[in-house]
Amino acid sequence: MRVAATGIGAHWMADGVFKLLRAGMRGPTRPKADSVEADDAATMAQSRSRPAWAEVDLAAVTHSVRLLVGLVAPAQVCAVVKAHGYGHGAPAVAKAALAGGAIGLAVALVDEGAELRRHGVHGPILLLSECGADAAATAVSCTLTPAVYTAEGVEQIARAARLLGQTTSVHLKVDTGMHRVGAPPADVPALVRAIMDEPILRFEGLWTHLSVADGECAEDRSYTLEQLERFDGVVAEVARQGVHPDIIHAANTAGAIAFPTARYGMVRSGIGIYGYLPGPAAAAAFTAAVGGETLLPALSLKARVVSVRMCDEGERPSYGRMRALPQRSLVATVPIGYADGVPRALFTNGFEVLIGGKRRPLAGMVTMDQIVVDCGEAGDVSVGDAVVLIGRQGDAFVGASEWADRLGTISYEVLVGIGPRVPRVPRAEARADPRVSLVPRAEARAGFRHWLGTIAGPRA
């Protein structure tokens, strides 16, 4: 029998939920523009001297979140912005998602949550993994909502909360079949007692994670239903203890779309808010549910041609001399490479970029900092022409999902793989000259820790 989330459990921000959290949600102040963190070991420069950048459409994020909010209602949407917002820029994406109706955010690491607070992001932030003892105090002081699933994890958060004198909400994670992290169902009653025995802790959420909600075969669907049945059993057992968490959640993007009964009071949407669906089964379910509405991919990867040369038929550009030009062709050099998240395997799998609204194949192997493009004998490409590796140009489109299909991977990996040297530029503020830095100078120097920290406007 299904255990329904009712009342406050269906509304993360309803009266009484996160009341204490909201009361102190002003968050740390933003760092001064000229401040530099003493972390030279982590420094990696964002390039301001070459025309290669990722353009982020924050309005697309807001649109996709609104669409998902409508789809899963009355459940709420928690926007997953871990891994620097799936490569898009976590603080900017977080704000866009909240503007679209997300009721809270989720990250994997305490550092990621603290980064959001430093950039003025308000609202609940759920930690998806139990943090270590050395990070517990930071989690509590930044008003993050920790996941717990071991007795040690409960004690670490309670100890930090007591030291800081700050009541802290926690979400207990249950392993119903993912077998990565989470408490075995048999351990849940004892963990619930441990949480309830700590006056400084508030048992706010109970949750699990679905491992094959995006699966296409009957076995995957059956396994997902088995996970939900196990989870329902845990929810019922906790209720028999006289405990009723405010928030019950299980579904990722795929689960939220393809398994309506997995929505409970809240869903955690990751890839969906960035404009992609996690596989054909979820795509079919989404189309059936929303009709003509579509999610909007938010990130475009762009560059400009920096050099052109006419090469004779049979010439073999780039390392390894892997491909002979089939005819006399103009070869364009574009300043982006595998150090920036453009894998060498794209060449061997027939990848094409867009220049002048046309698909054009790579002329040779991807190198660390550059690619070469076969533009044919027409000679219709010049230095300065725009190049699109991910995104739309005219009527042509190349998506992260196309990269994934060619590489035998998933769009998630493609998006988070775009490297820290690539500036993230908000679409509304993109300039014709991407060499203008769109990242505050101090953050560019701080490099890797801030490579997606803030999407800010161009400096004057």
Indicate the pLDDT class of residue 2, thresholds 50, 70 and 90: very low
Query: Domain residue spans in the chain?
Result: 7-30+58-274, 299-450
Fold held by 7-30+58-274? TIM Barrel (3.20.20)
pLDDT tens sequence across 140-178:
999 999 999 999 999 999 999 999 999 999 999 999 999
pLDDT beyond 70 at 409: yes
Q: 19 an active-site residue?
A: no
For residue 249, the Cα-to-chain-centroid distance in whole angstroms is: 19
pLDDT of 49-97, one tens digit each?
Answer: 799 999 999 999 999 999 999 999 999 999 999 999 999 999 999 999 9
pLDDT at 206: 98
Q: Which of 86, 95, 264, 319 is catalytic?
A: 319
CATH of 299-450, one of 3.30.565.10, 3.40.50.300, 2.40.37.10, 2.60.120.1030: 2.40.37.10
Determine whether 32 is an active site residue: no
Across the range 300-322, mean pLDDT stands at 97
| pLDDT of res. 428 | 76
Cα distance from N-terminal residue to C-terminal residue, the chain: 61
Catalytic residue among 19, 32, 82, 302: 82
Does the pLDDT value for residue 114 go beyond 90? yes
Same fold, 7-30+58-274 and 299-450: no
- Predicted confidence at residue 3, as pLDDT, reads 38
Mean pLDDT of 197-210: 98
- Average pLDDT (304-329) is 97
Tens of pLDDT, residue by residue over 222-261, are 999 999 999 999 999 999 999 999 999 999 999 999 999 9
Predicted TM-score (pTM) of this structure: 0.84
